[in-house]
Structure 1
Amino acid sequence: MPTYYGDTTGTLSGSQSGGAQILRGGLEPIDPYTGRYNDQLYGDAQALAGHARGGNDIIYGVSASYSTELIAGDAATMDGSSRGGNDTIFGGFGSHLSITIVGDALELHGASRGGNDLIYPGSNGASGGGFVAGDARTMDGTTRGGDDTIIGGGIGMALYGDASILSGHARGGNDHFRLSDGAQSLYAYGDGRLTEHARGGDDVIVGGSNAPYVMMYGDGALSDQARGGNDILIAGSNSFEIMWGDGPKTGTTRGGSDTFVFATGSGRDQIMDFEQGKDHIDLTGYASQGIHGFADLTLVAGAVIGDSDPNATSIQFSTSSVVVVHGVPHLTATDFLFA
């Protein structure tokens, strides 16, 4: 398994800093006959510790089908008060067997902080699963996520603005997603599962057009005393999206004040966790259809798409554009934002 490091195969520690490197995968195929690759690329080192700083690296992944790839903007692990660089990562093209991209490290511990990374994971997906996170797989302690941007995402990929699990007193950054057009079986999480005292960031997820199935979560499942961020979920045009401002909650958790945004031609969408008095449905993009207030809406009791839910309310704009708000039998004017 070819492994490449931007600065050192060991640990950056003390006050050491990584350089601004350019790394490219796809140099050593594991099968020269098929052109398959199995690469690991780390922008700086195996580990960052102490007050070490990662460089602002540019990393290009493999552009070959049937390959396996792991890319970390800085290191495998970060601990102490280390800081990740502001990295730019291109996941490559081709349908991978599996792909893992983290903007900073696989694990963030201690008081480490992620950089503000820009990630293009690609849009072809991975048959064996694709995992993309702006910062890490897991964050604990008092770690902080960076303000990351993720653009794209293919079939079967799971995208996380910060990490799949945040625990301890970890906090997510304020991340931005722009999902691929035509995305299928794509999962986008502003923050993943929040446990203990973790806090989600204020994230923005923008759906692509003509996407047949996308799951959006401002925050994943919340447990213990975790708190969700104030997220904005924007539906794509002619798409089918299932939207959660906050995932299922247990313990004494508290979700954020989330906004669900729809515009003309938004498709057939579902809101799963609308909290009246806290969340809002933004319909300013429907002003061109003459919708300027609550009286202009066509509301239907029950779910007209998806699972049967007698407590749902469906907002119908046309036969092809509808929003189902689950668990809310009586929407009011204060639930909406109009132009």
Structure 2
Amino acid sequence: MVSAVSGQLNNYVDYLVKGEDGKAHRFDHTTITVNLEGLKDSPQMYDSALAALNAWEVTTGLRFNVVTNAGADIVFNNDGQGSAYASTSYNGSGYTTSAEVNVSKDWMNGFPASERWGDGSYGQQTFIHEIGHALGLNHGGPYDGSGTYSKNAIFDIDTHQYSVMSYFSQSEYRASGASDINLSSPMIADVMAIQELYGNLSVNAGNTVYGKGAAAALRHTDLGQLSDSAYTIMDTGGLDTLDFSNAMARCVVDLRPGSFSDVNGNKGNVTIAQGTVIEIACGSAYRDTIVGNGAGNTLYGGGNSDKLTGSGGADRLLGQYGHDVLVGGYGKDTLSGGGGNDRLAGNGGTDRLTGGAGSDVFVFAHGGGRDTVTDFQDGTDRIQIKSPSIEYSDIDISDSGGSAIVAFDNIKIVLDGINASQLTASDFIL
């Protein structure tokens, strides 16, 4: 089995595209016609297939037009015997000329009703998988119809966390720690494979909301309504929001491209695709952790005691309620603790820190910068200085323009509305 080393994802994607024989196949167009007439005797299967097609659209940028003529690019049927499969035909140039997706009714009826239909069901995941074959994707390893991770996986990451084309549950790759749950979209490797086949298509290019308040086409991203599901977000532009304010358990959200987040008590179930930039994230009523990306992020902690961490860019971190920890990045950040006893650290850049109500600690380290604390409360708030061997006598405190200036090791801290004479050693944590 290939070790989980840098580059394995690219190799895995290449296998999804070319398979064992090293040959790629795809349609020669990105708007694909589909015929669903063969599913009309089962409205639930018809709707599930439509939802699966939508999942491919909103995750890859491919488009599907429903037609009724027999010459559609992909024809859907349910008349097979105890099976789900896709078959394709190619021309001499290797382009796909037609495909059939057949998910038999008797096979589907073998599952509990809750697993047959709707977002997050195994039935819908099956449609997503078979559509992937019709589009040109292979399984993630040399298996078809059956196989085990220990015997057949040639990539450690060949699990559902990375691809809907895999046969293997997320927990098979133990290093990931991901939860075993159904998929409601193609996953990160599938997105990359479609890009390799069809190019980088525009998708969700406007100002898009994922999670609470998502549009109907993105309803599968609202895990406050659909608690146990995994999906990938691909977004090529706009000012975008990932809102988990209605989540039913603690969230660990990572906005960095290629990252996995833990939502609703599940592990690694929400993925940010490569090249995707989400600017705004909202936490839940639980103890969340949110990490920003290289853009200028706005991060909302929500209820409870949260940890928010910026990265590059000019970030806004708003703890809101609870005892929060806010850590800025290298940009010009604005940190606001809100209610509770908060810890605020601007880190690099010229930052603006507001503790809000409660006993807050403003944290500074050596290395340069000029930060402003807007609401320092003498006798209630404190300043923590993390610098090797610093003593109170090393700190220079002066007045300037109605503010106290605290200076040390090329750092200046402006305390708005405070006089230097108000500050004593008890205001500092060294």
After TM superposition, the score normalised by the length of structure 1 is 0.57
Q: Structure 1's 328 and 60: CA in aligned 2 closer, same or farther, altered over 3 A?
A: same
- Figure out how many residues of one structure are paired with residues of the other and give that number: 239
> For 2:308, which of 177, 180, 188 is the aligned residue?
177
Instruction: Say which SS state the counterpart of residue 146 (structure 1) adopts.
Output: coil
Matches of 2:292 and 2:331, distance apart in 1: 15
Are residue 300 (structure 1) and residue 398 (structure 2) matched? yes
> For 2:336, which of 217, 241, 244 is the aligned residue?
217
1:322 deviation in Å? 1.0
Matches of 2:274 and 2:289, distance apart in 1: 15
Partner residue of 1:201?
A: 322
1:278 deviation in Å? 0.9
1:203 partner amino acid: D
2:408 partner amino acid: F
Matches of 2:426 and 2:273, distance apart in 1: 36
Partner residue of 1:61?
A: 233
Normalized per residue, the structure richer in strand is 1
| Alpha-carbon contact 1:60-1:91 (below 8 Å) kept | no
After TM superposition, the score normalised by the length of structure 2 is 0.46
Partner residue of 1:37?
A: 203
Partner residue of 2:362?
A: 260
| Alpha-carbon contact 2:326-2:345 (below 8 Å) kept | yes
Give 1:316-335 correspondences, 5 Å limit: 316-318=407-409, 320-330=410-420, 331-335=422-426
Partner residue of 1:197?
A: none
Matches of 2:267 and 2:334, distance apart in 1: 23
1:329 deviation in Å? 1.2
Alpha carbon RMSD of aligned pairs, Å?
4.1
Partner residue of 1:158?
A: 298
Deviations 1:170-200 (A, max 9, x none): xx211112221xx222111111xxxxxxxx2
Are residue 147 (structure 1) and residue 287 (structure 2) matched? yes
| Alpha-carbon contact 2:224-2:248 (below 8 Å) kept | no
Matches of 1:311 and 1:123, distance apart in 2: 48
Q: Structure 1's 87 and 204: CA in aligned 2 closer, same or farther, altered over 3 A?
A: closer
| Alpha-carbon contact 2:251-2:287 (below 8 Å) kept | no
Q: Structure 1's 256 and 68: CA in aligned 2 closer, same or farther, altered over 3 A?
A: closer
Q: Structure 1's 7 and 157: CA in aligned 2 closer, same or farther, altered over 3 A?
A: farther
1:270 deviation in Å? 0.9
1:115 deviation in Å? 6.1
Q: Structure 1's 123 and 231: CA in aligned 2 closer, same or farther, altered over 3 A?
A: farther
Q: Structure 1's 41 and 338: CA in aligned 2 closer, same or farther, altered over 3 A?
A: same
Are residue 337 (structure 1) and residue 428 (structure 2) matched? yes
| Alpha-carbon contact 1:122-1:153 (below 8 Å) kept | no
Q: Structure 1's 3 and 326: CA in aligned 2 closer, same or farther, altered over 3 A?
A: same
1:35 deviation in Å? 0.8
Matches of 2:423 and 2:271, distance apart in 1: 40
| Alpha-carbon contact 2:297-2:313 (below 8 Å) kept | no
Deviations 1:315-336 (A, max 9, x none): 1114x42111111013322552
Partner residue of 1:84?
A: 248
1:60 deviation in Å? 2.8
Give 1:94-133 correspondences, 5 Å limit: 130-133=279-282
Matches of 2:398 and 2:374, distance apart in 1: 16
Matches of 1:93 and 1:243, distance apart in 2: 27
Are residue 312 (structure 1) and residue 423 (structure 2) matched? no
Partner residue of 1:93?
A: 257
| Alpha-carbon contact 1:42-1:72 (below 8 Å) kept | no
Deviations 1:194-218 (A, max 9, x none): xxxxxx210001222xx23111111
2:310 partner amino acid: L
Matches of 2:306 and 2:252, distance apart in 1: 15
Matches of 2:395 and 2:239, distance apart in 1: 49
2:295 partner amino acid: I
Normalized per residue, the structure richer in helix is 2
The percent identity for this pair of structures is 23
| Alpha-carbon contact 2:306-2:322 (below 8 Å) kept | yes
Q: Structure 1's 239 and 45: CA in aligned 2 closer, same or farther, altered over 3 A?
A: closer
| Alpha-carbon contact 2:251-2:286 (below 8 Å) kept | no
Instruction: Say which SS state the counterpart of residue 173 (structure 1) adopts.
Output: coil
Q: Structure 1's 121 and 325: CA in aligned 2 closer, same or farther, altered over 3 A?
A: farther
> For 1:6, which of 117, 120, 124 is the aligned residue?
120
| Alpha-carbon contact 2:232-2:272 (below 8 Å) kept | no
Query: Tell me, which stretches of 5 or more residues in structure 2 are unaligned?
Result: 1-53, 60-118, 123-179, 205-216
